[in-house]
Amino acid sequence: MAVLVGKKAPLFEADAVVNGGEFVEKFSLSQYIGKKHVVFFFYPLDFTFVCPTEIIAFQDKLSEFEKRNTVVVGCSVDSKFSHWAWLNTEKNNGGIKGVTFPIVADLSKTIAENYDVLAGEWEYNEDDDYVEFSGDPVAYRGLFLIDKQGIVRHQIVNDLPLGRNVEEALRMVDALQFFEENGEVCPANWHKGDEGMKADAEGVASYLSKH
Catalytic option among 33, 51, 71, 118: 51
Crossing angle of the two packed helices 50-60 and 166-182, in degrees rounded to 10: 40
Q: How many CA atoms lie within 13 A of 114 on its CB side?
A: 14
Count Cα neighbours of 131 within 13 Å in the Cβ-side half-sphere: 4
Among 56, 46, 43, smallest CA distance to 101 is for 56
List all residues 6 or more positions away from 137 whose beta carbon is below 8 Å from its beta carbon. 77, 109, 118, 119, 120
User: Which SS3 state, helix, strand or coil, does residue 204 take?
Assistant: helix
Q: Is 186 a catalytic residue?
A: no
For residues 73 and 17, is the Cβ–Cβ distance under 8 A? no
| Residues annotated catalytic, as ranges | 51
